[in-house]
Amino acid sequence: MKKCYEFPLSILFLILFSSCSVGQKNASKKNDETEKPRRPKLIVGITVDQMRYDYIEKFWGDFGNDGFKLLVNKGFFARNLHYNFMPTYTGPGHAAIFTGTTPSYNGIIANDWYERSSGRMIYCSSDSTVQGIGTSSAAGKMSPQYLTSTTLGDELKLFSNQRSKVFGIAMKDRGATLTAGRTADAAYWFVGGNEGNWATSSWYMNELPAWVIEYNNERLADKVMSQTWELSNPIENYEESLEDNNPYEMPFKGTTRPVFPYNMAELKALNGNFDLIKGTPFGNQLTVDFGKRLIEKEKLGEDEITDMLCMSFSSTDYIGHQFGIHSKEVQDCYIRLDKELAAFIKYLDEKIGRENYLIFLSADHAGAPTPSYMMDQKGPAGYWKSDRLEESVSLFLKEKYGPANWIINESNLNLFLNRTIIREKNLDLKKIQMEVAQFVGEQPGVLMAFNASDLDRISGKSTIADKVQLGYNQRLSGDIIYVLQPGWMEYGMQGTTHGSPYSYDTHVPALFFGFNVEHGETFQPQTICDIAVSVSSICKLPLPSATIGEPIKKLVK
């Protein structure tokens, strides 16, 4: 007789329960492994035009606790970040930050450049095939058509299957178009003159959204024109700057002295009417105000699909050019910008939440000390005349190879040889390039000169030659590129400019704040191309197509 063993129900229940628990744990583990990585709801890329790295340190005592100080004290600061190419201009700078690459690869070699095929100068944002939307003037014929690589915004649009919203805004058209990229929903810029409106072009849309029309109709630009630019603090607190009336600053047209206060209504007629706003801190104020309205009306950051706003503050550049880096005007502009930043961060905190947005802030270039001031202090500096160089090179080639129109263009420290004549005379182009480069390199005020053949071979790490090479584009650049001595520039005796490969033009701040950013800093050498790679890494997004940067290791863990 077979024995029948009864299995206790309690044990059977425990086995079934354990099996279910293991199944639930495995399912939970699977869900954890397949869960989509979290990304910020909004990325805000801020470019401060002509902001030197040392302005944060120099004006630290003037700042409140909720603007630049907050970004430094609660965010991450890359303190030794430089541009790795020349020229350090506005167009190339904006493009480099957002493409993660240099003019050699993104196609923006200057603010404007000579085009051999047409024999004319090309502006980096111009586009004769589009129409202005919101303006009937030539100021509307702009687009990012010359960008030859993708931006952060382009990659975000591709990654989200066009569901992400990407916008660029700035007083300058190039500050808006070259940051947002070719596939952006829109880029808006401020049209001055007699208009005082925010506009775009048919590259992006056929008509202005109702909210932009409504915003323009509020005529905030008119309200700005009724204001007076006065110092924010008592004048004795501006000890970081030179005296208010000094010979190194350029007065507004219609005035004889560059001194506070500046009455907008009195100045506008001789200073471009609404264009005057761009050269005062009120331009930054309007940019922040328009940015808030855009976030509200376009519903940025309101869902789990990451959006992006590229915001460039242009007024800092206009003021820097006119008054120079040691002026009270520049110092006051940054005091006011600090307050605008604080208000904008507070708005983002309330609207989106600090854990849901990522801010990164840098500059498209820095700015040089005014040479006339440096010379008065017995410092190394000087002024350059490119016309004289062009005449000297033409005479040199005439004496060597006979009369001809040897030089067809000189711009951006590039010399373009007349290759048609060189071919007709059956001469060796490379030989002539080398001869001219040697001749140019021997001129007073020139540090070194390179010919196109040289720049096809140079490689290394952060030398002047490497910076020239990374700014060189075989299709667009000249036959000879030269570099001036440190402190030298082609400019007037008042105010300042930029464009060189030296630290006063290349060293810019890089601040990161908000989503997945831990407080910290690094003094390790970084390049401007590292910003886009770092942002992509933080947000787990594809890299821009031609990037040559590396992630900032202490920031991206």
- Residue 369 and residue 504 in contact, taking contact as beta carbons nearer than 8 Å: yes
What's the 3-state SS for 61-78? HHCCCCCHHHHHHHCEEE
Distances in Å between the alpha carbon of 160 and those of 187, 219, 305, 539?
19, 36, 7, 13
Contact 341, 201 (CB under 8 A): no
Alpha-carbon distance 183 to 156, whole Å?
10
Q: Can the peptide bond before residue 281 be classed as cis, meaning omega within 30 degrees of 0?
A: no
Distance between CA atoms of residues 371 and 485, nearest Å? 12
Is 90 one of the annotated active-site residues of the chain?
A: yes
Rounded to 10 deg, the angle between the 173-180 and 90-99 helix axes is 20
Q: Please, what sign has the CA dihedral across residues 249, 54, 556, 302?
A: negative
164's tokens: 């992400």
What is the residue whose two structure tokens read 């004319």?
Answer: 120
Q: Which are the contacts of 391, defined by CB distance < 8 A and separation ≥ 6? A: none
Across 363-413, where does the E strand assignment appear?
Answer: 382-383, 407-411
For 457-472, b/e burial (b = at least 16 CB within 10 A) is eeeeeeebbbbbbbbb
Encode burial over 529-549: b for 16+ CB neighbours within 10 A, e otherwise: bbbbbbbbbbbebebbbbbbb
* Token representation of residue 46: 């801020």
Catalytic residue, from 34, 47, 88, 90: name it: 90
For residues 2 and 348, give the distance between their C-alpha atoms in angstroms, rounded to a whole number: 79
Q: How far is CA 357 from CA 159, 276, 280, 514, 557, in A?
A: 18, 33, 29, 6, 18
Burial 282-295 (b: 16+ CB within 10 A, else e): bbbbbbbbbbebbb
E strands of 314-354, at which residues? Answer: none
Structure tokens at 399: 């004496």
Contact call for residues 153 and 310 (beta carbons, < 8 A): yes
Active site members: 90
